[in-house]
Amino acid sequence: MKKLLSSLLVVALLAGCSSNNNPPASDPAELETIIVGASPSPHAQILESVKETLKAEGYDLVIKEFDDYIIPNTALENDELDANYFQHQPYLDGFNNDYGTHLASVLKVHFEPLGVYAGGSSEIKDTLTLDDIKDGAQIAVPNDGTNEARALQLLEAHGLIKIKAGVGLAATVLDIEENPKNIKIVEIEAKNLSAILPDVDYAVINGNYALSADIVDKLCVSEDKNSEGAQEYANVLVVKEGHENDEKIEALKKALTSADTKTFIENTFGTLVIPVFD
């Protein structure tokens, strides 16, 4: 018994010496953290897709999801985040003006196009033509300024109406000059359009709401990535002023504009989310 105890003691001592003198070689190197605030879909999903790429570059991407459009900006202003990704440039400009924040966009990432979705008794078509729209058909559009103008531009692009020249993204139903099909425009709050789709012939719906409502199979046509709306309302990566050229931000920009990210967006979201970077 004494010999057995002595042998065990020697083995334990040797094991202890080995542990102290030769630390595990697999201990991971410490990663620098990048904290980004984002809306759940599609923004957080897109960020999730680049986590491993950033890890290989020495960064740990931490994604904080927000369901509102104010806290992600105030948190960034208060240095609680390194960046955020949920908004377009006009919203950011308005927020800086209204709240006195100092935030700057550094990258246009994607665009969530408005689409015309078939509702009610309308047949689902691959393309929308004048023949698809019955005389006197109801088409619901968002009732807020910018989205309504974009919706009207989309209808005009497919020959359904004609808008006064020069009004651009300030267009309203009062600016419709020609309406050969006597289309009845129904103005509805953007977030409610998916719910009322069965009650109208068609509705022009934002991409993010269409994603949530799972109505992709009802999509007829959508805004083109080169449209005025796409250029103006692309979703941007935002930082606090003075951090535009930080190394971690440059690494994040590189990951978000990679060929792999473009493929992920296209394969995951189809026509509801369109990458706008080259």
Examine residue 97 and state whether it is found in any structural domain, yes or no: yes
Examine residue 18 and state whether it is found in any structural domain, yes or no: no
Question: 33 or 123: whose pLDDT is higher?
Answer: 33
Question: 144 or 140: whose pLDDT is higher?
Answer: 140
Above 80 in pLDDT, residue 278?
no
User: Which of the four pLDDT bands, split at 50, 70 and 90, describes residue 144?
Assistant: confident
**217 and 123 share a domain?**
yes
Examine residue 17 and state whether it is found in any structural domain, yes or no: no
Average of pLDDT values for 208-226? 86
Specify the long-range contacts of residues 176-184, CB closer than 8 Å, at least 24 apart.
Answer: 176/152, 180/130, 181/130, 181/133, 181/134, 181/135, 181/136, 181/137, 182/135, 182/136, 183/133, 183/136, 183/137, 183/138, 183/139, 183/155, 184/136, 184/137, 184/138, 184/139
**121 and 94 share a domain?**
no
Examine residue 45 and state whether it is found in any structural domain, yes or no: yes
pLDDT on residue 23:
38
**Segment 188-207, tens digit of pLDDT:** 999 899 999 999 999 999 88
pLDDT on residue 173:
96
**219 and 130 share a domain?**
yes
pLDDT on residue 227:
79
**119 and 218 share a domain?**
yes
Integer Cα distance of 188 and 206 in angstroms: 12
**Segment 30-66, tens digit of pLDDT:** 899 999 999 998 999 999 999 999 999 999 999 999 9
Q: How is residue 149 written in tokens?
A: 């103008």
Q: What is the dihedral of CA 194, 197, 202, 206, to 10 degrees?
A: 0
Above 70 in pLDDT, residue 82?
yes
Integer Cα distance of 35 and 76 in angstroms: 10
User: What is the domain-level CATH number for residue 104?
Assistant: 3.40.190.10
pLDDT on residue 122:
63
**237 and 106 share a domain?**
yes
- In this structure, the number of other CB atoms found within 10 A of the CB of residue 130 comes to 10
When the pLDDT of each residue in the chain is averaged and rounded to a whole number, the result is 87
β-bridge partners, 236: 87, 108
Examine residue 27 and state whether it is found in any structural domain, yes or no: no
Question: 224 or 61: whose pLDDT is higher?
Answer: 61
**103 and 135 share a domain?**
no
- In this structure, the number of other CB atoms found within 10 A of the CB of residue 192 comes to 15
pLDDT on residue 3:
44
Average of pLDDT values for 1-28? 40
**108 and 70 share a domain?**
yes
User: Which of the four pLDDT bands, split at 50, 70 and 90, describes residue 125?
Assistant: low
Examine residue 196 and state whether it is found in any structural domain, yes or no: yes
pLDDT on residue 121:
62
Average of pLDDT values for 249-268? 97
**215 and 256 share a domain?**
no
The answer to whether the CB of 227 falls within 8 A of the CB of 174 is no
The answer to whether the CB of 108 falls within 8 A of the CB of 236 is yes
Examine residue 48 and state whether it is found in any structural domain, yes or no: yes
pLDDT on residue 101:
98
**119 and 202 share a domain?**
yes
**204 and 243 share a domain?**
no
User: Which of 125-134, 214-223, 242-251 is predicted least confidently?
Assistant: 125-134
**Segment 172-193, tens digit of pLDDT:** 999 999 999 999 999 999 989 9
The answer to whether the CB of 233 falls within 8 A of the CB of 150 is yes
**189 and 252 share a domain?**
no
Amino acid letter, 12: A
Q: Which sign does the torsion angle of CA 264, 268, 271, 273 carry? A: negative
Average of pLDDT values for 143-161? 91
Count of structural domains within the chain: 2
Examine residue 121 and state whether it is found in any structural domain, yes or no: yes
Give the residue numbers spanning the domain of 145.
115-223
**126 and 263 share a domain?**
no
- In this structure, the number of other CB atoms found within 10 A of the CB of residue 30 comes to 8
